[in-house]
Amino acid sequence: MKLPYQYIVIEGNIGAGKTSLAKRIAKQFNIKLVEEQFADNPFLPQFYENPQRYSFSLELFFLAERYQQLKDNVASQDMFQQQTVSDYILSKSLIFAKINLNENEFALYHRLFHIIYSHIPKPDLLIYLHKDIAVLLKNISKRGRQYELGIEESYLKKIDEGYWEFFRQQAGYPVLVIDTNELDYVNNEADYMKLIAVLSEKYAPGVNRISFGADKTF
């Protein structure tokens, strides 16, 4: 079995489980994994303690690291291992920067972003793992990263809204928004295979929504 996409991106809010899913997919299908090295950002713990002071440094560091990693691993594909799954898209830099930066800082950041954006390939499929805020907070607490424990519900809500605003502007490739509140694709093999079945289908460009379990609006 082979997934019908060359470049797959898995996105989600903080605590959605995007890296865990990307790792499972890479291992099962023997494809290249591009995993964001967020822990290498020296400004991350400082940002959570003092957002106003460290937000610009944080976002610039993330932008530089994400660009370099994607340029090295996606823009220059290995001819023997061309399929790739990544646990982030470069555009998430704009989503977070818009939340964290003031107006003047964001205007400068926006200019810098678009200078480099055209050099990175766009995904063939972008997957967004939607989880309710209460579930995200539970997951954040469970994984126990000290600097994340003070994240507030309002901040996660802003991130979710930022992603939806971004999705509504995408028409060049499929965006698959999956309600994963009822799924445990890390520990439950049946739930994981449900996701794989979904990813094996072809989707039209723009936003496509899939929900498991009880019908709900998300």
Per-residue pLDDT tens digits for 13-32: 999 999 999 999 999 999 99
pLDDT reported for residue 77: 63
Share of the chain above pLDDT 70, in %: 95
Task: Give the pLDDT mean for 163-189.
Answer: 92
* Inside any domain, residue 67: yes
Q: Is residue 216 part of a domain?
A: no
With tokens 């220059």, the residue in question is: 76
The count of structural domains within the chain is 1
Residues 28 and 173 sit within 8 Å (Cβ to Cβ):
no
Domain containing residue 103: 7-211
Q: Residue 170's pLDDT is what? A: 84
Return d(Cα 10, Cα 89) in angstroms, integer: 8
The whole-number pLDDT of residue 107 equals 97
Tokens of 69: 């990693």
CA 191 to chain centre: 20
CATH number of the domain enclosing 132: 3.40.50.300
Instruction: Identify the residue whose tokens are 């289908």.
Output: 201
Residue 218: CB partners within 8 Å, gap ≥ 6?
Answer: 130, 177, 179, 209, 211
pLDDT one-digit tens code per residue, 86-103? 999 999 999 999 999 999
Find the helix packing angle between 103-117 and 51-73, rounded to 10°. Answer: 0
Which residues have a catalytic role annotated? 87
Reported as a pLDDT band with limits 50, 70 and 90, residue 84 is very high
Query: Per mean pLDDT, which range of 8-17, 57-66, 205-214 is the poorest?
Result: 205-214
In a domain, 2, yes or no: no
Average pLDDT, the chain: 91
Residue 202 resides in a domain = yes
Token reading at 33? 């994994």
Residue with tokens 């950002």: 41
Structural element, H or E, at residue 122 = none
Is residue 1 in some structural domain? no
